[in-house]
Structure 1
Amino acid sequence: MAHIDYHAVLEALQNHQDRCPLCCFLEKAEDSYFDSLLYSWVGTEGFQDRFLAANGFCPAHAHHLREQNDGVAVAMLYAPLLKHRLRWQQNRHRLPRLFRPLGRLKLRRNQGPAARGSRASLRDCPLCEQIALWETHFLHNLFRHQKELPLQEAFRSGTGLCLPHFERLLWGVGKAPAWLSHHQDERVRTLQESVEEYASGSQGRNSTVWRELLEYMEGPARAVRHTGHRRRFRS
């Protein structure tokens, strides 16, 4: 797990000056998450239950798990989930028992992991939730320590935040510090000028400014945005 304090934010700003420092921090934190999952959590009853109750990972993080090339971990996590997903699908098409005696009706919902998994919302991926928490803590510390000169210098030396993370900062605090907003504005102006030159043919077609544009607009391809559009099995 990633522990986030002022020094963790400062280190990310200092070590990742050619990309969004928060995106880089999250990539490293995701790798740490999967290391812990593979070598500590898989097979433990607590994690297995939480995984089942969340209806597994979102598709993006499921494929990230696949990239770890650990078939045993995938089998241990997804074989039980497969059994329950099939059961949920079958239960969806069963006719209700209308003639069951009223005295035998069970009014309380089953709160076991499998039952909760059948009702999991679109945003219940355990890693998506953890990433949202990491983002919040990182941006909170960035804003909280905004007057620290080493932090300001490290931020100005880099490219700044990608647009999704800058928007998330604004959503969280309402108004970003003036020095940070100014740096973001400079980044946007520079990027716009480079893109216009590229589109007009002034820059060679070997330029990678279009990649920079996409990464600034959407964050890196590996990142998962919390838009709630994941396809899930629902009861």
Structure 2
Amino acid sequence: MSVDVTYFRIERIIRSGAECFLCTLEDEIERKYIDGYLSELVMDAKAREKLVEGGGFCNHHFYRMLATATRPESSDGHGIALISQSIIEKFVQDLQKQRKRGKEAFSQTIECPACAYLANLTEIYDRKIVELLCSRNEEFENLFKNSKGLCIPHFALLLKMIKDTMGKQSQEIIETIIDVEEKNFSQLKSELSEYIRRQSYEFSDKDRKAVEDALLKCVQKIAGRRGIKHDNV
């Protein structure tokens, strides 16, 4: 019997109690890519050359690379410095070319390898989730019903994918997803109301601290994880 690694990874993350299991899944994939790049490719001259040709990393992933590489226990800052040096050298060369072009507009194109990797892998997981929901897999449906649901961007993405897959037959599945979202957002609304109530002067710092995670949870539910690509929705 073959083991469905994709399913077990999805199941594990849902059971972890993530506010949005797709956000947590994407974050895990992204983190493993960054760790892998820093441990295997950051000092590789050919990999660095390819990265520079593509314009480097996007804003989000360059900062994540930097944050990971400059941790006290890491020695990967040297590699990030070499990447930055190569990009700066190329930009100086581009400046000389731009000088010759005169008033022609300067354009910057970035083909971020981290974005490409994340997009390819998350599409596999997104399609697996859609397949499980559309096939009315009882085990997964029960798992989904007991989850904390999705952030708003991933809710929109999942609905679009299901409608594209099932067409007019998608209504019952969509109702299930809406029920899960409504239950979890109602709970979050109650937590936020309590957070707001405890900002009053009669509550102690300890009382406020007990509910302080409500604010972060709300932002995560509304906006999705930091770095999410909303244009994919």
TM-score of the superposed pair, with normalisation by structure 1:
0.72
Q: 2:218 aligns with which of 191, 213, 217?
A: 213
The CA distance in 2 between the partners of 1:139 and 1:41, in whole Å, is 28
Deviation at 1:89, TM superposition (A): 2.6
Contact persistence 1:57–1:125 (CA under 8 A): yes
C-alpha change, 1:38 and 1:95, in structure 2 (3 Å) is closer
Whether 2:137 is the aligned partner of 1:121: answer no
Contact persistence 2:6–2:128 (CA under 8 A): yes
Deviation at 1:144, TM superposition (A): 0.3
Whether 2:98 is the aligned partner of 1:137: answer no
C-alpha change, 1:37 and 1:198, in structure 2 (3 Å) is closer
Aligned length: 202
- 1:48-85 deviations in Å (ceiling 9; x for gaps): 23311221111221121112221221123221111001
The higher relative CO (CA closer than 8 Å, separation ≥ 6) is in 1
Deviation at 1:37, TM superposition (A): 1.0
Whether 2:181 is the aligned partner of 1:184: answer yes
> Who is 2:143 aligned against?
154
> Who is 2:24 aligned against?
24
Deviation beyond 3 Å, 4+ runs, structure 1: 43-46, 118-122, 196-206
The CA distance in 2 between the partners of 1:140 and 1:71, in whole Å, is 37
The RMSD of aligned alpha carbons is 2.9
Structure 1: which 5+ runs fail to align?
97-117, 229-235
Bigger fraction of residues in helix: 2
> Who is 2:166 aligned against?
none
Match for 1:11: what amino acid?
R
> Who is 2:40 aligned against?
40
Secondary structure of the equivalent of 2:100?
coil
Identical aligned pairs, as a percentage? 18
The CA distance in 2 between the partners of 1:95 and 1:132, in whole Å, is 35
Secondary structure of the equivalent of 1:5?
helix
Structure 2: which 5+ runs fail to align?
71-75, 164-169
C-alpha change, 1:150 and 1:193, in structure 2 (3 Å) is same
C-alpha change, 1:92 and 1:224, in structure 2 (3 Å) is farther
Deviation at 1:26, TM superposition (A): 1.9
Contact persistence 2:55–2:87 (CA under 8 A): yes
The CA distance in 2 between the partners of 1:134 and 1:164, in whole Å, is 18
The CA distance in 1 between the partners of 2:50 and 2:223, in whole Å, is 30
- 1:82-106 deviations in Å (ceiling 9; x for gaps): 100122233223246xxxxxxxxxx
